[in-house]
């Protein structure tokens, strides 16, 4: 069984199209979207449509998805993110608003769990940046693997039986039976780890392997659309930097 997991598309159609093309080149049995389909870039409805067309698929909510339909307070959003949310609200179809509003916060599978922010308070959209954050998440993690997103910075962290955490280097890991794993799958549409390429994750359950993959795309096209839409220009510039 091979899963393709992706998140934080953020209305960047060009990035998501490139990732979808990559999916066609590898055998995928099931798709999983960890939220933030919309927010920031210029194609919210088109990205929702493309996500829906993948199948079989499981989708959970991100903070921008719920913010776009008034289910999450945008007072804590920075001014640029807030402006993009208000723009997105004005563009979403009624059908897509209902679709985003109905997305759940978490979902459990036999050997893993998915959440956008953190298992300890999914509805508060906390970020996991440090080992301390990771340890707190492991305390709530009953399954062998937790896949999450939200920070747009991919990582793989392992935890041994005693709770010692270690970051896996190289963005690829062969799973050990007595370890648990916390995996941030990165962002399709607005990476923030210094690499502008779109990020997604492959989980091969039979071969016990997890890998974070990167895909380059025509980011100039996405940037031009952001500017033409009247969205804040910084949202276009940052795509080149991967920040």
Cβ-closest residue to Fe ion?
Answer: 36
Q: Which is nearer to Fe ion, 129 or 166 (CB)?
A: 129
Shortest spacing between CB 64 and Fe ion, in angstroms? 6
Shortest spacing between CB 3 and Fe ion, in angstroms? 20
Q: Which is nearer to Fe ion, 173 or 189 (CB)?
A: 189
Q: Which is nearer to Fe ion, 22 or 36 (CB)?
A: 36
Shortest spacing between CB 65 and Fe ion, in angstroms? 9
Give CA–CA dist 243/232, Å, rounded.
15
Number of residues that bind Fe ion (CB under 5 A): 2
Token digits of residue 15? 């990035």
**Interface stretch with Fe ion, choices 35-43, 68-76, 94-102, 133-141 (CB under 5 A):** 35-43
Q: Which is nearer to Fe ion, 8 or 14 (CB)?
A: 8
Q: Does 22 bind Fe ion (CB under 5 A)?
A: no
Q: Does 193 bind Fe ion (CB under 5 A)?
A: no
Give CA–CA dist 119/237, Å, rounded.
32
**Interface stretch with Fe ion, choices 32-40, 41-49, 92-100, 168-176 (CB under 5 A):** 32-40
Count CB-CB contacts under 10 A for residue 138: 20
Give CA–CA dist 205/6, Å, rounded.
17
Give CA–CA dist 100/90, Å, rounded.
14
Q: Does 36 bind Fe ion (CB under 5 A)?
A: yes
Q: Which is nearer to Fe ion, 11 or 158 (CB)?
A: 11
Shortest spacing between CB 69 and Fe ion, in angstroms? 15
**Interface stretch with Fe ion, choices 7-15, 163-171, 193-201, 234-242 (CB under 5 A):** 7-15
Out of 3, 5, 6, 8, name the contact with Fe ion by CB under 5 A: 8
Interaction site with Fe ion (CB under 5 A): 8, 36
């Amino acid at each position: 069984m091979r899963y393709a997991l992706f998140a934080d598309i953020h209305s960047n159609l060009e990035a998501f199209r490139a990732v979808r093309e990559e999916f066609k080149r590898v055998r995928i049995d099931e798709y999983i979207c960890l939220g933030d389909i919309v927010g920031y870039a210029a194609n919210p409805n088109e990205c929702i449509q493309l996500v829906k067309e993948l199948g079989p698929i499981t989708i959970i909510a991100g903070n921008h998805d719920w913010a776009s339909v008034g289910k999450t307070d945008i007072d804590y959003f920075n001014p640029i993110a807030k402006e993009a949310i208000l723009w997105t609200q004005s563009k979403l179809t009624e059908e897509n608003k209902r679709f985003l509003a109905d997305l759940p916060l978490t979902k459990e599978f036999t050997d893993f769990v998915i959440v956008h922010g953190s298992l300890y308070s999914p509805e508060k959209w906390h970020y996991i940046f440090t080992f301390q954050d990771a340890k707190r998440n492991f305390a709530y993690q009953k399954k062998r693997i937790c896949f999450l997103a939200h920070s747009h910075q991919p990582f793989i962290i392992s935890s041994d039986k005693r709770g010692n955490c270690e970051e896996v280097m190289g963005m690829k890991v062969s799973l050990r039976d007595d370890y648990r794993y916390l995996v941030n799958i990165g962002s399709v549409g607005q990476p923030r780890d210094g690499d502008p390429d779109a990020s997604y994750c492959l989980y091969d359950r039979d071969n016990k392997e997890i890998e974070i993959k990167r895909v380059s795309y025509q980011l100039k096209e996405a940037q031009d659309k952001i500017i033409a839409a009247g969205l804040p220009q910084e949202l276009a510039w940052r795509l080149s930097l991967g920040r």
